[in-house]
C-alpha cells in the first residue's frame, strides 16, 4: 500500500539551532502537507504544498515540494522550546472519491533550552 | 482558522460497554468529516470518512459494525465504539472539511482528540 517515510525518526537539538527533516514516498502525490502535533492534541497544519518544486515559508518554517513529487522537506530555523512536538508529513490521495490524507510516521523533535 | 471540538476529551469505560465520541465544527459547516485513530508514538490512521446525510466510507480493515459513524448534520459527526475492548484503547481524532471532496485546497481542520481507555 501507499507509505510515507520520514527521517529522522527523532531528534534532539539545542535551542537556536536549525532543524531539517524530510519525507519520501514511493508514489507520486500532487499535494504535500506538513503538520505539527503537540502531546494530547490534534495535528495542526503548518504548510501545504501544491506544486512540484514549490518552496513555501511560514515564519521560521520553510518547506519544499520535491520536483519528482515523491519527496518534501521541512526546515525550522532558530528553534525555540515551543517547537517541541511531532512533525508529520502527509499527502493528499485524490484517487478516491474523497480527500484522503495519508500521514507519515512522524519526526519527534525535542529542543534543549 | 476554523475550530473543531471533540467531546469527551477523555473517557474510561469498562470492557463490553459502548462509547460515543462527538465531533463538532464550531464555526463552519463540514460537508465531510473524517475519523482517525492514533496509537501511542504512532501516526494517525484514517478509519472512515463521512458525508452529511449519507453512510460512512470505512477504510480497509475497519469494522463498520464496531465503529458506528453518524453524520447527522453539517456540524456534527459521532463515532460510537460498540462493545469496547482493551485493544480499542487509543486516541481518536476527527477532522472536518468545509468543501466538497475533491476540492484539494479545502483544508481539513482537526479536533483535539479523545483519549479512550477501556478497562
What is the 3-class SS of chain A, one letter each residue?
A: CCCEEEECCEEEEECCCCEEEEEEECCCCCCEEEEEECCCCCEEEEEEECCCCCEEEECCEEEEECCCCCEEEEEECCCCHHHCEEEEEEEEECCCCCCEEEECCCEEEEEEC
Closest Cα of chain B to A27: distance in Å?
18
Contact call for B4 and A42, based on CB within 8 A: yes
Distance, CA of B98 to CA of B112 (rounded, Å) = 18
Side-chain half-sphere CA neighbours of A38 within 13 A: 8
CB neighbourhood size of A24 (10 A): 17
Average pLDDT of the residues in A20-27: 96
Residue B29 has a pLDDT of 87
Kindly tell me the number of DSSP H helices and DSSP E strands found in chain A: 0, 11
Residue B96 has a pLDDT of 93
Alpha helices in chain A (DSSP H): none
Binning pLDDT at 50, 70 and 90, where does residue A16 land? very high
Q: What is the pLDDT of residues B88-106, one digit of tens each?
A: 999 999 999 876 544 545 6
Q: What's the angle, vertex CA B20, arms to CA B94 and CA A36, rounded to 5?
A: 20
Across the interface, which of A31, A40, A100 has its CB nearest the CB of B113? A40
> Phi and psi (nearest 5°) for B86?
-50, -35
Contact call for A44 and B110, based on CB within 8 A: yes
Chain A to chain B, count of Cβ pairs less than 8 Å apart? 62
CB neighbourhood size of A27 (10 A): 14
Average pLDDT of the residues in A73-97: 91
Query: Considering only CA atoms, which of B33, B99, B39 is closest in space to residue B69?
Result: B33
| Chain B residues whose beta carbon lies within 8 Å of the beta carbon of residue A49 | none
Cell reading at B13? 469505560
Check whether B2 has a pLDDT greater than 60.
yes
Average pLDDT of the residues in A63-78: 97
- Give the residues across from A48 on adjacent strands: A33
Residue B14 has a pLDDT of 96
Cell reading at B75? 456540524
Kindly tell me the sign of the dihedral angle through the C-alpha atoms of A8, A3, B54, B102: positive
pLDDT mean across residues, chain A:
93
In this structure, the strands spanning B90-97 and B32-38 are: antiparallel
Question: What are the CA-CA distances from residue A84 to residues A17, A26, A79, B9, B54 (Å)?
Answer: 13, 28, 9, 22, 39
Across the interface, which of B93, B95, B102 has its CB nearest the CB of A94? B102
Contact call for A98 and B93, based on CB within 8 A: no
Closest Cα of chain A to B118: distance in Å?
17
| Chain B residues whose beta carbon lies within 8 Å of the beta carbon of residue A44 | 110
Closest Cα of chain B to A34: distance in Å?
12
Binning pLDDT at 50, 70 and 90, where does residue A86 land? very high
> Phi and psi (nearest 5°) for A49?
-125, 130
CB neighbourhood size of B16 (10 A): 10
Cell reading at B67? 465503529
Binning pLDDT at 50, 70 and 90, where does residue B72 land? confident
Amino acid at each position: 500500500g501507499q507509505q510515507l517515510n520520514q527521517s529522522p525518526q527523532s531528534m534532539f537539538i539545542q535551542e537556536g539551532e536549525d532543524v531539517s527533516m524530510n519525507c519520501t514516498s514511493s508514489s507520486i502525490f500532487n499535494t504535500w502537507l506538513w503538520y505539527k502535533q503537540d502531546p494530547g492534541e490534534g495535528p495542526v497544519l503548518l504548510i501545504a504544498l501544491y506544486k512540484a518544486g514549490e518552496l513555501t515559508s511560514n515564519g521560521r518554517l520553510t518547506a519544499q515540494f520535491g520536483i519528482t513529487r515523491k519527496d518534501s522537506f521541512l526546515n525550522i530555523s532558530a528553534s525555540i522550546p515551543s517547537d517541541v512536538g511531532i512533525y508529520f508529513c502527509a499527502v493528499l490521495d485524490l484517487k478516491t472519491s474523497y480527500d484522503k490524507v495519508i500521514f507519515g510516521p512522524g519526526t519527534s523533535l525535542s529542543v534543549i533550552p | 482558522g476554523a475550530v473543531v471540538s471533540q467531546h469527551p476529551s477523555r473517557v474510561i469505560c469498562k470492557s463490553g460497554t459502548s462509547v460515543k465520541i462527538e465531533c463538532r465544527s464550531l464555526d463552519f459547516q463540514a460537508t465531510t468529516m473524517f475519523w482517525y485513530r492514533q496509537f501511542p508514538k504512532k501516526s494517525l490512521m484514517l478509519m472512515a470518512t463521512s458525508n452529511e446525510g449519507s453512510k460512512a466510507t470505512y477504510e480497509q480493515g475497519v469494522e463498520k459494525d464496531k465503529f458506528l459513524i453518524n453524520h447527522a448534520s453539517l456540524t456534527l459527526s459521532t463515532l460510537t465504539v460498540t462493545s469496547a475492548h482493551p485493544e480499542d484503547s487509543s486516541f481518536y481524532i476527527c477532522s472536518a472539511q468545509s468543501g466538497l471532496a475533491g476540492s484539494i485546497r479545502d483544508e481539513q481542520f482537526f479536533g483535539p482528540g479523545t483519549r479512550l481507555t477501556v478497562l
